[in-house]
A = this chain, B = another copy of it.
Amino acid sequence: MAGVALTDRQRLDWLRLIRSESVGPRTFRALMNRFGGAAAALEALPDLARQSGRTLRLCTPAEAEREFAALQHQGGRLIALGEAAYPKPLQAIDSAPPLLAVIGAADALLRPCVALVGSRNASAAGQKFTARLARDLGEAGFVVVSGLARGIDTAAHEASLGTGTIAVLAGGLDEVYPPQNEPLFRRLLESGAGISEMPMGWAPRGRDFPRRNRLVSGLSLGTVVVEAARKSGSLITARFANEQGRQVFAVPGSPLDPRAEGGNHLIREGATLCAEAAHVIEALLPLVEFEQWPGGGGAVMRDGAGEAPPQALWDELDLPGITPAPKTELPAETAWQDKAWQDKALPSETSDQGINLLDLLGAAPISIDDLVRASGRSARDVSRELLELELSGTVLRQPGGLLTRLMP
């Protein structure tokens, strides 16, 4: 698959769009679909916002250029969705970041990855097992992905320094958290990479960590949870992995050990018990050989397994005015050229206001697909009216793109 590449101008526009107020990955995609390109979307956004009586702060060209410069200064670069350097498994997820900031050995992103996550307050045994697992997975050719946190994450990165490991940061690439892992981060860049979807200088807030976790699982063919209490970020990662159609592994532990509760729970819910690296390798090797990167719709674990991410992970959820496209198929790679977007965004359908969407909407969340089916109207037409309804504050979009009517 020959990758396409954005022009410098396009990359700048993409960066400006994704850095503008209330635009997240799904909204970005919706805007691209609606306006055919980032430049056109940037042009249209102020008007869209005005229609709902809001103002929307756009990222200026100067700001975007400063981010480019800061990243370059660190030796990093921005990889765009659809480009050859963008990791295919991540591209397959619902909320893939349009731009990925990368430093270090970016080619690690193109090797088969396994996520290894777990408790910050890990036991000595948990860390020892993690190190053994990471080493064995590395020797088997896998890149170990984790979140640079204390405990399990640290043990995973350290044991795979020689074979390649990727740290996914919740803040900007110059905002390493926790600070004491700054030296580890520097070391892992030699044969691995650091990545982030956040701007340089962005200090991570609490909500950025679960959001980041979707990238940890999304980069990876499988996610292994080593030690996790009942309510923990690792279970959010497992939930993401499952929703992304990726295999979830969990390391068992004694029922008397609270740190084993999360893992044991995951196993009961359908995660694969992992007691050694071979259990992961034998499950993932077929995916590597056939280069199959599963997309969403994971149904291996029971519904509700893992920990649901907190509401409003995405800034875009607060944006009235854009109907996102969570289920939209990725366009072919060439379609990422702005021109191709433009073509796709101009269908010949005409509006048909036969059925009032508001009558179809209520307190129970409903998907756009269902709305299209129920209304008998075109998807484009439904999207357009939803936009108005959202801008007027009558309709609210929930996580996952489901819509509810706000009752007065």
Interface residues of A (CB under 8 A from B): 125, 128-129, 251-257, 260-261, 264-265, 267-268, 272-276, 279
Contacts and interface: CB of A to CB of B under 8 A. Distances in A.
Contacts of A260: 252, 254
This protein's copies in its complex: 2
B256 A254 contact: no
24 contacts: A125-B256, A128-B256, A129-B254, A129-B256, A251-B254, A251-B255, A252-B252, A252-B254, A252-B255, A252-B267, A252-B273, A253-B253, A253-B254, A254-B254, A254-B260, A255-B274, A255-B276, A261-B275, A264-B275, A265-B275, A267-B273, A268-B273, A268-B279, A273-B273
Nearest to A268: B273
A253 to B, nearest CB: 5
Contacts of A265: 275
A274 B279 CA distance: 20
- List the 7 closest pairs (A to B, CB-CB), nearest first: A252-B252, A255-B275, A264-B275, A268-B273, A267-B273, A253-B254, A125-B256
A251 B255 CA distance: 8
Consensus secondary structure, chain A interface: mixed
Contacts of A261: 275
A129 B261 CA distance: 14
Contacts of A255: 129, 251-252, 274-276
A268 B255 CA distance: 17
Given A128-B256, A252-B267, 12 more contacts: A125-B256, A129-B254, A251-B254, A251-B255, A252-B252, A252-B253, A252-B255, A252-B260, A252-B264, A255-B274, A255-B275, A264-B273
A270 to B, nearest CB: 11
Contacts of A256: 125, 128-129
Q: Which of A125, A252, A265, A276 has the most CB of B within 10 A?
A: A252
For A128, A129, A257, A264, the residue with the greatest tally of chain B CB atoms inside 10 Å of its CB is: A264
A261 B279 CA distance: 13
A255 B280 CA distance: 14
A251 B257 CA distance: 12
Nearest to A265: B275
Contacts of A268: 272-273, 275, 279
Nearest to A227: B254
A279 B261 CA distance: 13
A128 B251 CA distance: 22
